[in-house]
Structure 1
Amino acid sequence: MKIDKIINNNLIRTFDNNGKEVLVMGCGLGFQKKIGDTIDQSKIEKIYAIENKSDSNKLMTLLSEIPLEYIQVSNEIISYAKYSLGKRLNDNIYISLTDHISFAIERYKQGLTFKNALLWEIKRFYNHEFLIGKEALAIIKKRLNVVLPEDEAASIALHIVNAQLNSRDMNDTLDITKMIQNILNIVKFHFNIELDEYSLHYERFITHLKFFAQRMLSGKVMKSDDTNFCEMIKGQYKDAYLCAEKIKKYIDKEFNHELSDEEMMYLTVHIKRIIKED
């Protein structure tokens, strides 16, 4: 690969073997170099290959403005998240998380504290991602000697969740988190009970709501031709179905999405399990 553009001493633009534009990062990679020079492969730390031209330009601007050590820490956290989850993350996380971490560290240096209003929800609904966020704080402390509060672990977790959803808008992730909490509240108030957050049925219900929310945001609808089974569930679990109808009204009002009979059936079954009815 040859240098097409030198952004700074640590970042250059070039093209891969397929002729696609990529950003290459490495300490001193662009130092005393000029356009057309061959890239020193031994200095390459990270190659960013983002398909979207707009995102590529955003990333180039971001990486040119942020200290190299912040970028390195962010890359390490993202690599750890991918390994821990065993999933592919949307490349946009290299923009969103790197920017967030840089901003969080600068706030820390200025003595400004940040409280995450969804800390409680994130811990419970996205426990795996939250634990990754905790590990991210440990990485930041080790690499940069910066001690960020637990609230930042929750914020990092949300960026990871957002990257899993393949969403470009963090508001989608926030909406899903609030939606899950509101649905749980509907169930608790309808039956006047407290839910066992450590039960297997509770965990399955949360998982179901996450996948439902993802389908809703992507415009996908779960449908079934088995109307008899849907009617059977409705008749057998009457109170759970009444609760599901309240949830249906909430979803329609807040998200302009109408639950299908199939979705109502699964929702009813999960509600039946979580309330431990006989």
Structure 2
Amino acid sequence: MLIKRVFNNNVALTEDLDHTEMVVMGKGLAFQKRPGDEIDTEKIEKTFITPSEGFANKLSELLDEIPYEIMVLAKDIIEMATSELNTELNDSLYLSLADHIHFALTRLKDGIPIKNALMWEVQKFYKDEYQVARKVLELIEARTGQRLPEDESASIALHLFNARQDCSRMEETVKMTAIVGDISDIVKYHYSINFDVESMNYSRFITHLRYFAYRMLRGELNDDQNDMLYEQVKMQYPEAFECSRKVQAYLEREYQMQMTKDELAYFMIHIQRVTSREKS
């Protein structure tokens, strides 16, 4: 296995006899090494195949900022999550997760906590990822001695969800995009408003629509019938209720899907939230 590029003393890009490129990690494995040198395979602690041409450059940028221990931690977290969720996770998660953990630990050190606005959605709709993410916080604490806030569980859970290999099927992605666009248009025309696409409210709304569409296409929608919540929200937000009925009619017509009262209640809440700011 020959070295193609040295990132630092602990990380290098290599190529095997089949010309397969992979990143290898290990304490001191690239110390005083140059491209073309043989790698000492006994020093390799972590290895993974590079998923894209730009991966190596992005990794190089991260290694200038992020300690080696955090990079190893991110790799270990992905291995644990892959086992716990029983699914393959995209290798690109390695970069985004390492960057997120490093930034979260930096914010904690600087006393700058950040709340996750999707905390309750993640807990309710992505229970598996959320439970794994809570274990991730424990692993981070064990390695670094720092306990990240519970809101980070939701953030990490979203990273895990987005990295599922089976999320990237093109046909499903096209349908998801269509559903999100159609529902967004229904809300826009019902209220006769133009969304501020840069706002946090709009971003939160679109995120909810994306996850809803994903779960709908997979047949994983919440089947709870929370009559009390539904009636309360319906009474409090009558216009959002009327708008949600149009969304329901669209889904029944195009996808033969019946929304439960629980799903309708959450739709009303999100519709009210995203439209109230625009109207005001």
- Fold match, TM over 0.5? yes
Deviations 1:162-212 (A, max 9, x none): 111249xxxx9966642279x7xxxxxxxxxxxxxxxxxxxxxx9842637
Deviations 1:63-115 (A, max 9, x none): 34310111111111111110011111111101111110111111111111111
1:109-258 correspondence to structure 2 within 5 Å: 109-164=109-164, 165-166=167-168, 177-179=207-209, 208-209=215-216, 211=218, 246-247=246-247
Alignment pair present for 1:271 and 2:260: yes
| Structure 2 residue runs without a partner (length 5+) | 170-179, 181-202, 221-241, 265-280
1:260 Cα deviation (Å)? 8.0
CA contact (8 A) 1:59 1:94 kept: no
Q: Could you tell me which amino acid in structure 2 is paired with residue 84 of structure 1?
A: E
What TM-score do the two structures reach when normalised by structure 1?
0.66
Q: Could you tell me which amino acid in structure 2 is paired with residue 88 of structure 1?
A: E
* 1:180 to 1:23, Cα distance in 2 relative to 1, 3 A: closer
Between the aligned partners of 2:88 and 2:43, the Cα distance in structure 1 is 25
Equivalence for 1:5: 5
Between the aligned partners of 2:205 and 2:52, the Cα distance in structure 1 is 25
Identity of matched residues, %: 40
1:48 Cα deviation (Å)? 2.8
1:49 Cα deviation (Å)? 1.5
* 1:180 to 1:15, Cα distance in 2 relative to 1, 3 A: closer
Q: Could you tell me which amino acid in structure 2 is paired with residue 271 of structure 1?
A: T
Deviates more, 1:113-122 or 1:172-181: 172-181
Equivalence for 1:63: 63
Deviates more, 1:146-155 or 1:43-52: 43-52
* 1:124 to 1:38, Cα distance in 2 relative to 1, 3 A: same
Aligned-partner SS, 1:103: helix
Between the aligned partners of 2:219 and 2:54, the Cα distance in structure 1 is 30
Between the aligned partners of 2:33 and 2:55, the Cα distance in structure 1 is 26
CA contact (8 A) 2:2 2:16 kept: no
Root-mean-square deviation over aligned CA pairs: 3.4
Equivalence for 2:16: 16
Between the aligned partners of 1:111 and 1:34, the Cα distance in structure 2 is 41
The alignment covers a number of residue pairs equal to 211
1:20-59 correspondence to structure 2 within 5 Å: 20-59=20-59
* 1:76 to 1:243, Cα distance in 2 relative to 1, 3 A: same
